[in-house]
Amino acid sequence: MQDEPRYQITYTLTKWDYAAMARALTRRPWHRSIVTMILWLLSVWCLLVLFTDLYNPVTVINAVAESSSWLWLPACLLVVAFFSLATHWLSWGASFLYYRQIASADAIITVGLNDDAIRVSSDVADSTVPWATVKRIIREKDYLMLPISKREAFILPRRSFENQKHFEDAFHYANEKISAGPVGAG
């Protein structure tokens, strides 16, 4: 028996929706980005030691400063910092290039939230996913996202809700379902 959805929205998936999902799914906490950057810098340091046999950082810095092509090191360090701290923005930009290749590009999507599952239907496919599949909820200014993997999420744009209160209520409802865990889904 299929229950009537407690919340149901219909919207057309846009490239901006897809980009917001890509950015949200790849965003990492700052501390994790900093650790990644430190690991990259240690890797660069190890390569410098390997190729120069200089272990003293002051000696390496002096050697690089005296070199005629000393700009490559700061440029490499900036690239490392950028790739470590801004991966979610890179994913955001790349998603615009990839958008036309996904089957659901510009599809009209209907998402229904009820007590036992999330039901999604579109011109492309219909699916029913139990709440236990969703591990968290991502709330942004204009979106609610229910990730089901590292690369996929159900997107619930604010514009598709009747009003702000409906958006807030859907967030709280989804949050309760996710917090309840597998026991609440069965």
Q: What backbone torsions phi and psi does residue 141 show, to the nearest 5 degrees?
A: -55, -45
Contact 107, 12 (CB under 8 A): yes
pLDDT of residue 185: 41
pLDDT of residue 1: 46
Residue 165 DSSP SS3: helix
pLDDT of residue 121: 95
Residue 177 CB contacts under 8 Å (≥ 6 apart), including other chains: 113, 115, 131, 134, 184, 185
Neighbours of 10 (CB within 10 A): 12
The Cα–Cα gap between 143 and 159 comes to 9
Say whether pTM exceeds 0.85.
no
The Cα–Cα gap between 75 and 87 comes to 18
pLDDT band at residue 78, thresholds of 50, 70 and 90? Answer: confident
Number of H helices, E strands in the chain: 6, 7
Strand order in the sheet with 117-122: 7-12, 108-113, 117-122, 126-130
Tracing tokens 């069965």 back to the chain, one arrives at 186
pLDDT of residue 186: 41
pLDDT of residue 184: 41
Dihedral angle at the C-alpha atoms of 40, 32, 149, 8, nearest 10 degrees? -140
The Cα–Cα gap between 58 and 89 comes to 34
Contact 130, 26 (CB under 8 A): no
Tokens of 109: 């999507």
pLDDT in tens, 86-141: 888 888 999 999 999 999 999 999 999 999 999 999 999 999 999 999 989 999 99
pLDDT band at residue 182, thresholds of 50, 70 and 90? Answer: low
pLDDT of residue 88: 84
Q: Return the sign of the alpha-carbon dihedral for residues 163, 22, 79, 55.
A: positive
pLDDT of residue 2: 58
pLDDT in tens, 37-75: 888 888 877 887 787 777 777 887 787 778 776 677 778
